[in-house]
Structure 1
Amino acid sequence: MNSEITVQHISECYVKPSHLPQQVIHLTTWDLAMLSFHYIQKGLVFQKPGGQHSFIQLFLHKLKDALSVTLAHFYPLAGRFARKQHHPNSFTISIDCVNSPGARFVHSSVDTTISDILSPPYVPIIVQSFFDHHKAVDYDGLNMSLLTVQVTELFDGIFVGCSVNHSVADGTSYWNFFNTLSQVFQGSPMTAPILERWFPDGCGPVISLPFTRDDQFISRYETPILKERIFHFSIAALARIKAKANAHFKDKATRISSLQALSAVIWRCVTRVRGLTQDQISSCCMPANNRSRLDPPVSKHYFGNCIQILRTFTTASKLLANDFEWAALQINKTIIEHDDKSVRKSVATWLQTPVTYQLKQLVDPGTIVISSSPRFNMYGNEFGLGKPVAILSGYGNKFDGEVTLYQGREGEGSIDTGICLNPDIMSALECDEEFLGCFN
């Protein structure tokens, strides 16, 4: 693709909810912990309808109307962060849903085709310009929109991208919003989100942060030059990996999922091609959805962050000396041990010593970080354009060793895996026998 091609912004505006309650939304421990992360940036590629000269203007008008109606239910996304100093050494951050211009809506275009975007082996850097909030961190929501919907016209396609503040929503909430926006656009029934934030007994809803300077809890990570490639794992390939991971377990209570097995394979293969020393720590980090782990459980329609990062680790030599089934079992154990007691203990620990996740702390030559989930309904968002052609993500939260899981287009359990690596390590992974064997 021509590196000189740029995305041209045609117009922008702000969209407010069709109706808005007078309400302030307080942030939970999980929300506040995300303040130094980038915005979530995910979007869908669609074929452009042919023979409709006025299509784009009608589409934009209808999408803005649908966004306004959707925001009436997801109104935190139309707000801005508000910071209030309570004491010289502490402050709070909440979502002001009233004193805000609303969510941002951008119409842009680029002189390229769907094939130009999807046919190269690596995701073109131009895709980063299909999203707003480039390099912004969640704390910037004090002055930036918490949501931007950007529609980018290609020669033969339409890209609908959403950039959402990660301190307002996690992946589950993000796709619940995206799904609802598509449903409202098409006039389908929708399910309203649960906006009441979860706080442990005796805590909240106002949580103070004990910092005096922004640099004590905010850092801006600059992503180095990386190669990002999306690998497709078919239903059949995943079934083979899962069956192999479970074949030798006499205890039938132990069941390795397709996702755990795939994560184990990627963890081992990336560790191998990185050439770590034998005693170097290698870890696989992945977000855990706490909704179903809490007792009583939280609704799957809970809107906000309800996740935390789990870490499975060992030495590089032990990881590679054992087979991938062993690695999958270690991941499985970490996930099983994360129950209601574990969740509440971690929240209590955070309240004693509040911290924010720093991207630079996740960047380690021995670490891979799994993000997103193939269980999210991504290809069900059609906006009257038919099934999306592909799913792509932006610059946000990308680093060496970051792995993004997408729903496979064929459905029924297939997974597309976006892997970001140093260019030399990516080349080595593409030749790794164990990794290549997963596709046969």
Structure 2
Amino acid sequence: MDSSSSSSSSSSTVAATVAVAAAAAAATTVVSKCRVHPSQASAMGDLKLSVSDLPMLSCHYIQKGVLLPRPPFPVQHLVSLLQLSLSRTLSLFPPLAGRLSTGSSGRVLISCNDEGVDLIHASAGDVLVADLLSPSRVPERFKSFFPLDRTVSYRGHWEPIVAVQVTELRDGVFIGCAANHAVVDGTSFWNFFNTFAEVSRIGERRFSKVPDFRRESVLISDAVLKIPEGGPTVTFNEDEPLSERIFSFTREAISRLKAKANDRKWSESEDGNFNAVEIMGKQMHDPYVTSGNVKLTPSFLGSWFAKQRGGAGTRVETAEISSFQALSALLWRSVTRARKLHASKTATFRMAVNCRHRLEPRLEAHYFGNAIQSIPTRAAAGEVLSRDLRWCAERLNRSVTEHGDAAVRGAVEEWEREPRLFPLGNADGASITMGSSPRFPMFDNDFGWGRPVAIRSGRANKFDGKISAFPGREGGGSVDLEVLLSPETMDGIESDLEFMQYVSQH
């Protein structure tokens, strides 16, 4: 062997050794794991899974968490605090401490049997908070901060329905939570997480967002879902190569986008009132919202709208494009363009909508469980690109507006005729699926030493075209979009001028 060959071999060996050492140093290691039980024994009986719950048995557990600055006390003390507060919180959410069970009839239930949940203490001491706040692609390291990775919800028969992992960073902590998607949707998940943080911060008291566990609505059915032999599996390729990025949009950028979608000229002076109108309009769908001593009922808000738009006799405009619909339309156009679809190919934009306020009579705002349905909007790719932003936004607006009580009940009846698991994914390569919501109180999770620095998710339910909407940390109507796309499509939207002109560069 000549000297150059020997030198090359030696360099390769050193490089390989360094790489292995770096990988070992970058590992997230488990320090401890314990089973946490409710502080009070459950008196709740079995709960039926609804027609909104059952299809999610083939989906991964929800994985969401908060990135926080380091607490002003030892992390071991934090773990003890979380163990105590989690135990107390589970007493308010008995189903989360239980397990799934299937009776002789084939119906799947939640047994509130106090078997408990897992609390994991992990360490990633080489990681700084700043390392995780990449302005471009989301670091893969986040995936190791969540328990029950890639666990299908059907496994709630054997696995805990909830697991929490607190990961110690060099200058912060990450508290990640995994929750069975056949037991909770985003509304129920964040109600639990918010309560967990509140109990950690101030202890036990009378909580305003007490979950409603009643099973009395049209969503509760005697239809039986047949589970495939060996249990359900996810309906998408878990190992598909994907790029993930958080795109941030300021309140001003979204306000400008909304004005464009509504064919209105935007000005900074109208920004405050423009967003106030939208916020009040959204509150018309929630019978529990108050402002000071005023109950924000539909009649009160209708009168308020009329005054804002020109006097008591002025008709309230009902076809206005919302900020989120305008943002969704922008994304639909950009992704469709980047995918280079044939003009005749059908492009689909799916939105998960909360049905609690759509049913008559309404479900309680804090109804516990899944109360969501997927609304598709379809158009030829050529039309999505040749028409303007308003045309796309109007179609999204129409789909959401028309999904009222009759549509929700119709979807329930259709599922009862043919019970099936939810086909999550992007089978035709031309779909976008929007989940989560910028209305969820994700930043209202102060465990005792400050608000989160960021919200992030794990590996669960991610495929080409999966989008999750989060509120922006600065509030005020800002939005973050967690976008999962093929690497080629992600490159395309990052160079799309129509899309990127609205994206915050900070």
TM-score (norm 2): 0.81
SS at match of 1:33: helix
CA pair 34-216 structure 1, distance change in 2 beyond 3 A = closer
CA pair 221-17 structure 1, distance change in 2 beyond 3 A = farther
Maintained 8 Å contact 1:28/1:207: no
CA pair 239-415 structure 1, distance change in 2 beyond 3 A = same
Return 5+ residue gaps in structure 1 as ranges. Answer: none
Worse overlay, 312-321 or 66-75: 66-75
Structure 2 match to 1:382 = 446
1:395 to 455, 459, 470: 459
Matched, 1:252 2:270: no
Amino acid of the residue matched to residue 342 of structure 1? A
Structure 1 match to 2:118 = 104
Matched, 1:137 2:152: yes
CA offsets per residue over residues 264-301 of structure 1, 9 Å max, x none? Answer: 00010000011000100101101010001001111111
Matched, 1:229 2:251: no
1:316 to 381, 400, 403: 381
Amino acid of the residue matched to residue 214 of structure 2? E
Structure 2 match to 1:414 = 478
Structure 1 match to 2:305 = none
Q: Distance in 2 between matches of 1:225 and 1:166?
A: 24
Worse overlay, 112-121 or 153-162: 112-121
Structure 1 match to 2:360 = 295
CA offsets per residue over residues 169-220 of structure 1, 9 Å max, x none? Answer: 000111111111111112265231101134329x64x542234624677657
Q: Distance in 2 between matches of 1:291 and 1:198?
A: 13
Q: Distance in 2 between matches of 1:135 and 1:226?
A: 16
Amino acid of the residue matched to residue 33 of structure 2? E
Amino acid of the residue matched to residue 245 of structure 2? R
Maintained 8 Å contact 1:28/1:199: no
Amino acid of the residue matched to residue 35 of structure 1? L
Q: Distance in 1 between matches of 2:145 and 2:246?
A: 18
Q: CA deviation at 1:22?
A: 4.4
CA offsets per residue over residues 18-61 of structure 1, 9 Å max, x none? Answer: 111142111001000111111111100011035x4xx2122111
Maintained 8 Å contact 1:35/1:218: no
Q: Distance in 1 between matches of 2:36 and 2:366?
A: 23
Maintained 8 Å contact 1:18/1:69: yes
Matched, 1:196 2:221: no
Q: Distance in 2 between matches of 1:156 and 1:363?
A: 42
SS at match of 1:149: strand
Structure 2 match to 1:182 = 197
Worse overlay, 145-154 or 221-230: 221-230
Structure 2 match to 1:173 = 188
Maintained 8 Å contact 1:104/1:145: yes
Q: CA deviation at 1:3?
A: 5.2
SS at match of 1:354: coil
Matched, 1:370 2:385: no
Structure 2 match to 1:10 = 31
SS at match of 1:404: strand
Q: Distance in 2 between matches of 1:236 and 1:412?
A: 9
Matched, 1:128 2:146: no
Aligned residues: 429
Q: Distance in 2 between matches of 1:220 and 1:79?
A: 28
Maintained 8 Å contact 1:28/1:198: no
Return 5+ residue gaps in structure 2 as ranges. Answer: 1-18, 266-314
Q: CA deviation at 1:132?
A: 0.9
Q: CA deviation at 1:374?
A: 0.5
Maintained 8 Å contact 2:217/2:363: no
SS at match of 1:426: helix
SS at match of 2:492: helix
Q: Distance in 2 between matches of 1:280 and 1:22?
A: 50
CA offsets per residue over residues 233-270 of structure 1, 9 Å max, x none? Answer: 00000000111111269993211111111000001000
Structure 2 match to 1:37 = 59
CA pair 222-242 structure 1, distance change in 2 beyond 3 A = same
Worse overlay, 315-324 or 41-50: 41-50
Structure 2 match to 1:340 = 405
Maintained 8 Å contact 1:36/1:137: yes
* Bigger helix share: 2
Maintained 8 Å contact 1:137/1:220: no
Structure 2 match to 1:60 = 79
Q: CA deviation at 1:417?
A: 0.8
Q: CA deviation at 1:84?
A: 2.1
Q: Distance in 2 between matches of 1:260 and 1:3?
A: 42
Structure 1 match to 2:95 = 76
In terms of Rg, which structure is larger?
Answer: 2
Maintained 8 Å contact 2:345/2:381: yes
Matched, 1:279 2:344: yes
Q: Distance in 1 between matches of 2:494 and 2:48?
A: 46
Aligned CA RMSD, in angstroms, stands at: 2.1
SS at match of 1:122: coil
CA pair 371-140 structure 1, distance change in 2 beyond 3 A = same
Q: Distance in 2 between matches of 1:239 and 1:147?
A: 38
